Chains A and B, each alone.
Chain A
Amino acid sequence: MKPKYRSRRNSGGFLFLLPSLLGIGCFYLLPFLLIVGWSFLEDPFKKTFVGFQNYTNLLYNAAFRLAMKNTLAFLGSAVVSALVLSLALALALRALVPRSRLLRAVLLFPLTVPVVTVVLLSALLLDWYGVVNGLRGLLRLASVDWLDGIHARRSMLLLYLWKHCGLYALLFLSALETVPVEEREAAALDGAGKARTFLHIELPHLLPSFLFVSLVCLFFGFRFFREIVLLEGRYPTPSLYMLQHFMRNVFAVLDYQKLCAAAVLLFGLAALALGLPAALLRRRSGGVEFLSLTAGGIGAGNGKHPALAAVFIVLLLLPGLVPTLVTLVHSLAPEAELGARYTRILKQIGFQDGPVKLLLVPQGLTLAPYRELLAGSPLLASFGRSLLYTLPALMVQLPVAVCAAWGFSRLRGKGRDALLLLYLVLLLLPWEVTLVPNFLVARFLGFLETPWAVWLPSVFSPLPVYLLTKELQRLPAELREAAALDGAGSLRTLTQVLLPNLGPALAAVLLLDFIDLWNAVELPRTLLRRPELQPLSVTLASISPEDPLGPIFAASFLYMLPPLLLFALLFGRKAKR
């Protein structure tokens, strides 16, 4: 028989969880259940029940099998290489420049680069006539088509690692910093070297972080699809044909039953793949110290290799800062110069006569693109709308997520873990899966073509709930017990005892969510529909060959500023303290 205190505790937990549950139910679960229902119909128009026919057809479909194989291969290679690279990066950072918070912030710069800038710069670098082949030409090496065949997948993988590894490295770094100093000291006293200390002391502590970073890798892996589509189109080279391509393309030809069946299979696969790691995460003490831009640099490193450190810093700064600086330089370059260099390569018209040279030092600097932007350009209005869609959602999302996380940490029993796993799986479902049900829900609620269509699904995003739940689980139980002894109720315990200890985690969640919402393309594109309602992420992703390049680069640079300002805010806060 369940003890009374547990029942009280559970009902209290549910109360905290309720807003999030309602939102998740409405904007994630209900749409998904609709999909499950439709996957058993012949098609959405005829509505004839066909049992598992759609699943059978799907499993025999060559395009689906190829997409599944490629998606698993890409995600697999992305996760493995990201784990290895980011851990190496974290260890190097700790060893060589343990106290540089600025460098840690630079690691996050690639995440702020808008999708369209990533695509533009990638095209300029990787095109047949791009900069990389230009450099190979100087070395008398044959040109390579980096965006085709097997090279395409490698290029995309590299792009993915460039964009996200900084974040993962920070997550590892934070986790490394949570390893008790006493254990390291004890190992040192036992005569263990750095390698043995790492293998026997630190690595076991990192296991939950490996699993956690893998989840974040998968989350961003699915979102990376938008870069692949923009660079490679709806029918990419077969090695890059992903599940999202399949889903998007079958939707375009109204084969919705295939999309639904694929979505359900993907859900099942995700639940299966995540169930085990989630169980492992549960058993371990769980969680990581979230990306501590704010952490004080208490690493094991001593910074005794200045030359090596300098090389390392340069290697880190190059990929981190160069895209931002290139965007800035391009935004200040005269339109004629940009057009002369890039028009053909970017717009694929006319006959390209030779390799493109990246513009690093423009012949003259001009503020004309910014003037054009500020003189009522639609891009500026789009920027305003980006803020409008992101900030309010973020401000409501955090309290909802904190309450939900608190609710989760108060709940006991197997149901809680199943529910949390559901959050996790819903989090990983690509947008293509719920496109139609989300549209129907927004239409039913009358939110279509209003900011609510973007705000509400964002407010109830499972991402912050999951992250904060894991973080709350990590906090010592003594904190809650002491609060309870002092007679604090649930709300007081949360607001006065736990929240002050969640500072770094909240900052991290704020950052991740901001980046996620700020870069959202699919949700606003489909639910806001009209060009005059779209945020800058969508407007920039839909540039037309006729658009001048200057204002686009200027808008891209402007687009990078809010995330950078947020970094600065979080970074500056701790530095001051």
Chain B
Amino acid sequence: MKKIWKSALLSLILLLLLSACGKPEPPQPTAGPSAAPVETPIPVSDTRYLRYDVTEEAQFDLSYEDHFFTETELILLGKRKGATLLLRVPLAGGDAAELPLDKAYKQAAAGPDCLWLGDRMELVRLDAAGQQTLSLTFPELIEDLFCDETGRLYVAHRNSLTLVSDSGEKESISLPKDYTGGSLCRLGSREIAVFASRIKGPVARLQRVSSGALVPLDVGDANIGVLASGDAGADFYYLESNYMDLLSEAGRVFRFSGGASTPIFDLAGTSREGKVRGFCPQGADFLLVYGGDEGTGLLRFTPTEAEKKILTVARLNNNHYITELISRFNRENPEYYLINRFYLGLDTDLMTEMLELDILAGDRPDLLDTMLTNLEVYGTKGLLRDLYPMIDADPTISREDFVPSVLRAMETENGALYRMWPTFELYTCIEPAAYVGDAEGWTPEDMYRIMEENSELILFGRSNDGARALLNWTLTGVMDRFADFETGELRFDTPEFVEYLAFLREMVERARNYDGGDALLGILAVGSTSGFSRGVTNAELADLRIIGFPTWEGTGLRCTGLYSFSVFDGTGNEEDAWAFIRWLLSEELQEEAGGLPMRRSVLEAQLEEIRNGAPETTVTQFVDPIAAASGTNTETVTYTLPAVPPLTEEQLSTIRRLLDGIDGVYEDTIRHPCYFIIWEECVNLFKDAKTPEETARAIQDRLTIYLAERAS
């Protein structure tokens, strides 16, 4: 027995050792300019807060280097025309005093009657008259400086923290292994703390200096982007981490006190642009410094009487464009604040499960970013609002304002509208006219016949997706024929489906033996009117026809949303959530957004624009726009968009015919749970493990279970 307990003890020791590398800690971003974008899956708090407006602002002709807030002034360090300057800005108002400096200092901190300036590994102290009274060097680069009321200076390095006494004596404290030092701040308890980021992962923590040692401070789920000193009411303040900590991201400022974070206000109250460098409370107000190479500014945020309407959006993806869009909504609509609630897990099933568990627990978000979820289920359960009554009740918009074919395609089979795409893409296929002739539509039988008559043809160009692409692009046109999920009728065991499977297998075989030659089908994805114009013109030049996917019913023209939102029912915020969607559908947004606009007026205007064509355009853009914004990667790429030729009336009418003919959503087929069953069985078919008849039977059997599960 003793041995067992010894083993247990040994295990405990092992555990403690391992916990150093594997202990789960809440993810937090690294501090400082190299901050990595990390989302909080569940917001710290959805507590309501007041709206803050910018009541004062000042601009300084100074590229930003560092800043330091004292009780009475803001000290700004920066450069103007290559010369380093120090500005002392009185917080109570008045002109800023300038102090030219002889060296390109990078850090500044102010103490009682003195000023500390840092440059790489050197540090100098100036007295009130600007005379140098002390000079020190360090073995490590200086990351940040902070001087407390007693005149003791704290110097943060990557691996250590140095305490410098008034007489210049240094005392070094090492940071925990694997952590790298960053910003310094003063806690509400008057202790100084350093922000330490985990090197091997997005985990950060505060280390407070206590009796000459560093003590970790549990910051819970605080998602710290920019840190600010605390006061009597808070241990510290922080701006939540966003991609770049830019003003335009309209992040929220939190108070951290007693182990919990509470939002105080957000930065949506300004149209200024720049990176947030720091902030500090001043009474009920907050002063905020922002800037970069282009200049530096100071803003005063003052509370108003108005309370913010807080909305949450469930996000099952990390699409940066949607994140930016939400930031923009927050910035342009100061009465609202839309919070991302990310459900990012190891797989789609887990992400959906997380959302559904929250729903079952009564914690329903206001909006749903629906690209990855099964809308039909939520709609049937009454969890989502039908958007048609909301459109009808909105005096600023009506159903007739939207592209009717796409609106119909977005509906469920019972005629409800549970999703809205601000923009869309059209998916169809292009075929050589030599094979398909002048027909405006074709059935799978036509496709079978053409392929049979032309044994040298393959169906699609062989792609990395191989057999899967064959299934995806053909199934989208034929699925409806074999499955009616509304009535629960399945016809996968019919000769028609067996014939389809036999055809697919034949096509896979042809693709396996492919050694050059034509493909019957090419995919045309149209996401802009100019792209439309090029597609139609090129197709004409190459004698190709655009007639949709082979189908027995409808046109075979499919569409997909670039992003999509739904409104949850029963939250009490449905009308406010609709305000967000209405904003997405505003003409201004529609004109700027990528993809084909949902609003007919905007689409018509864009079609009119391309009628006369457009010249060749040269575009230069950053390879990595996010890195470019932080200055870490300003590499650009230049490319030329070919000229858009003027359109003939016939071409224009082809475009209109294609747009009007859209009658299905591509994702509704290939993201349907049944699709995966069909794919799994088709894998067996393509392996020759099953005949088409056996495959059809297996699909029918498995889908019967799928439907039986849902039967009431």
B-side contacts of A392, CB under 8 Å: 12, 15
A449 to B42, CA, bound (A): 10
Chain A's closest residue to B687 (CB) is A128
B-side contacts of A563, CB under 8 Å: none
A239 to B346, CA, bound (A): 29
Q: Does the CB pair A499–B346 fall under 8 Å?
A: no
A413 to B613, CA, bound (A): 92
A-side contacts of B1, CB under 8 Å: 499-500, 503, 506
A62 to B680, CA, bound (A): 23
Interface residue? A539 (CB, 8 A): yes
Q: Does the CB pair A235–B3 fall under 8 Å?
A: no
Interface size class of A (residues with CB under 8 A): 35 or more
Which of B15, B352, B381, B705 lies in contact with A63, CB distance below 8 A?
B705
Which of B19, B202, B346 lies in contact with A388, CB distance below 8 A?
B19
**Which stretch (B20-28, B293-301, B532-540) binds chain A?**
B20-28
Chain B's closest residue to A534 (CB) is B346
Q: Does the CB pair A451–B24 fall under 8 Å?
A: yes
Using known A-B contacts A350-B464, A388-B19, determine if residue A506 contacts B4 with beta carbons closer than 8 Å.
yes
B-side contacts of A48, CB under 8 Å: none
Interface residue? A337 (CB, 8 A): no
Return A78 CB to nearest CB of chain B, in Å.
22
Within 8 A of B (CB), among A1-53: 43-46
A381 to B19, CA, bound (A): 9
A237 to B681, CA, bound (A): 10
A-side contacts of B686, CB under 8 Å: 351
A-side contacts of B354, CB under 8 Å: 529
Return A525 CB to nearest CB of chain B, in Å.
6
Interface residue? B11 (CB, 8 A): yes
Within 8 A of B (CB), among A245-286: 246, 249-256, 258
A439 to B362, CA, bound (A): 12
Q: Does the CB pair A351–B381 fall under 8 Å?
A: no
Q: Does the CB pair A237–B702 fall under 8 Å?
A: yes
Within 8 A of A (CB), among B1-59: 1, 3-4, 7-8, 11-12, 14-15, 18-19, 21-24, 26-27, 41-42
Which of A46, A503, A526 lies in contact with B357, CB distance below 8 A?
A526
A-side contacts of B168, CB under 8 Å: none
Q: Does the CB pair A145–B356 fall under 8 Å?
A: no
Q: Does the CB pair B701–A238 fall under 8 Å?
A: yes
**Which stretch (B130-138, B465-473, B555-563) binds chain A?**
B465-473
Chain B's closest residue to A574 (CB) is B3
Return B513 CB to nearest CB of chain A, in Å.
10
A-side contacts of B24, CB under 8 Å: 385, 388, 450-451, 528, 532-533
B-side contacts of A531, CB under 8 Å: 344-346
Interface residue? B382 (CB, 8 A): yes
Q: Does the CB pair B3–A253 fall under 8 Å?
A: no
A129 to B687, CA, bound (A): 8
Return B462 CB to nearest CB of chain A, in Å.
9
Within 8 A of B (CB), among A507-529: 507, 510, 525-526, 528-529
Interface residue? B350 (CB, 8 A): yes
A-side contacts of B712, CB under 8 Å: 57
Which of A238, A350, A395 lies in contact with B12, CB distance below 8 A?
A395
Which of A249, A383, A435, A443 lies in contact with B709, CB distance below 8 A?
A249
Using known A-B contacts A351-B467, A351-B512, A573-B3, determine if residue A542 contacts B687 with beta carbons closer than 8 Å.
no
Interface residue? B276 (CB, 8 A): no
Interface residue? B683 (CB, 8 A): yes
A539 to B683, CA, bound (A): 26
Chain A's closest residue to B347 (CB) is A542
A384 to B27, CA, bound (A): 17
Which of B22, B23, B677 lies in contact with A235, CB distance below 8 A?
B677
Q: Does the CB pair B21–A387 fall under 8 Å?
A: no
A68 to B686, CA, bound (A): 32
A-side contacts of B698, CB under 8 Å: 148-149, 237
Which of B345, B374, B468 lies in contact with A530, CB distance below 8 A?
B345
Interface residue? A137 (CB, 8 A): no
Q: Does the CB pair A253–B709 fall under 8 Å?
A: yes
Q: Does the CB pair A443–B710 fall under 8 Å?
A: no
Chain A's closest residue to B363 (CB) is A443
Return B350 CB to nearest CB of chain A, in Å.
6
Interface residue? A391 (CB, 8 A): yes
Chain A's closest residue to B349 (CB) is A252
Q: Does the CB pair A439–B361 fall under 8 Å?
A: yes
Interface residue? A419 (CB, 8 A): no
Within 8 A of B (CB), among A370-429: 376, 380-385, 387-388, 391-392, 394-395
Using known A-B contacts A57-B712, A235-B705, determine if residue A388 contacts B22 with beta carbons closer than 8 Å.
yes
Which of B22, B344, B688 lies in contact with A381, CB distance below 8 A?
B22
Using known A-B contacts A253-B709, A381-B201, determine if residue A233 contacts B676 with beta carbons closer than 8 Å.
yes
Q: Does the CB pair B360–A256 fall under 8 Å?
A: yes
A-B CB contact pairs (8 Å), 25 listed: A63-B711, A128-B684, A128-B687, A252-B356, A349-B466, A351-B508, A351-B686, A376-B201, A385-B22, A387-B18, A388-B24, A391-B12, A395-B8, A439-B361, A507-B4, A510-B4, A528-B24, A530-B41, A531-B345, A532-B201, A532-B202, A534-B346, A538-B346, A539-B346, A569-B3
Q: What are the 6 closest A-B residue pairs judged by CB atoms, nearest first? A: A384-B22, A63-B708, A542-B346, A62-B708, A376-B200, A128-B689
B interface list, Cβ under 8 A from A: 1, 3-4, 7-8, 11-12, 14-15, 18-19, 21-24, 26-27, 41-42, 200-202, 344-347, 349-350, 352-354, 356-357, 359-361, 374, 377-378, 381-383, 464-468, 508, 511-512, 570, 673, 676-677, 680, 683-684, 686-690, 698, 701-702, 704-706, 708-712
| Inter-chain pairs besides A45-B381, A233-B680, A252-B352, 16 sampled, C-beta below 8 Å | A63-B705, A143-B689, A145-B690, A237-B698, A238-B705, A253-B709, A254-B378, A350-B464, A350-B466, A383-B22, A388-B24, A503-B1, A526-B353, A529-B41, A529-B354, A530-B344
